């Protein structure tokens, strides 16, 4: 894919975000498999459903621009997944697994927040107002996810501190 102008760059970054959302959703499924007995499972299932909606929203952006996503792999999510798998391979306690999971989900949400901010700005500059609105919807969900996991992280930290 040639990257000759701002529209090409936008499509490239949007394609990368599309891949990130797809990989993130798969990653959440993996996490769910390891935390099914945890109180986090319900939150993760809801996040997975939101992830599907964000993916559909991005597909709508591509359709409005009359194009298909390019093959732009998100290696950042792959790295986060590899780190999680390495941690899980250490056989952590359920409590340690919950804390690590929440921290990983917080990092993943903030990655999405940063990506959506940049793409919204580019979409508006290119006159893709409807796509920008869709991206903003996804951004709000990402911000809510980040806030949820930050709150849970704080609560888990308090719980652990009380048990020390």
Structure tokens at 9: 């760059």
Q: Pick from 23, 29, 163: which is nearest to 96 by CA?
A: 163
| C-alpha to C-alpha distance for 143 and 43, rounded to whole angstroms | 15
Instruction: Between 42 and 138, name the one with better pLDDT.
Output: 138
| C-alpha to C-alpha distance for 141 and 54, rounded to whole angstroms | 8
Per-residue pLDDT, 34: 81
**Per-residue pLDDT tens digits for 7-57:** 899 999 999 999 999 999 999 998 888 877 778 888 999 999 999 999 999
Per-residue pLDDT, 40: 86
Q: Pick from 132, 100, 99, 97: which is nearest to 117 by CA?
A: 132
3-class state of residue 6 by DSSP: helix
**Per-residue pLDDT tens digits for 50-98:** 999 999 999 999 999 999 999 999 999 999 999 999 999 999 988 888 8
Per-residue pLDDT, 1: 64
Per-residue pLDDT, 3: 83
| C-alpha to C-alpha distance for 142 and 164, rounded to whole angstroms | 33
Per-residue pLDDT, 38: 77
Per-residue pLDDT, 164: 60
Answer yes or no: are the C-beta atoms of 105 and 145 closer than 8 Å. Answer: yes
């Amino acid at each position: 894919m040639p990257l000759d102008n701002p529209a090409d760059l936008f499509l490239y970054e949007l394609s990368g975000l599309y891949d990130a959302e797809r990989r993130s959703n798969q990653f959440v499924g993996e996490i769910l498999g390891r935390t099914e007995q945890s109180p986090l499972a319900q939150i993760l299932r809801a996040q997975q459903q939101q992830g599907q909606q964000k993916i559909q929203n991005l597909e709508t952006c591509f359709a409005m621009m009359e194009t298909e996503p390019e093959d732009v792999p998100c290696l950042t999510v792959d790295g986060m997944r590899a780190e999680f798998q390495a941690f899980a391979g250490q056989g952590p306690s359920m409590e340690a697994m919950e804390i690590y999971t929440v921290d990983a989900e917080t990092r993943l949400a903030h990655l999405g927040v940063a990506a959506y901010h940049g793409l919204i700005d580019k979409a508006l500059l290119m006159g893709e107002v409807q796509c920008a609105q869709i991206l903003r919807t996804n951004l709000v969900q990402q911000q809510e996810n980040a806030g949820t996991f930050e709150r849970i992280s704080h609560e888990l930290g308090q719980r652990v501190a009380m048990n020390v």
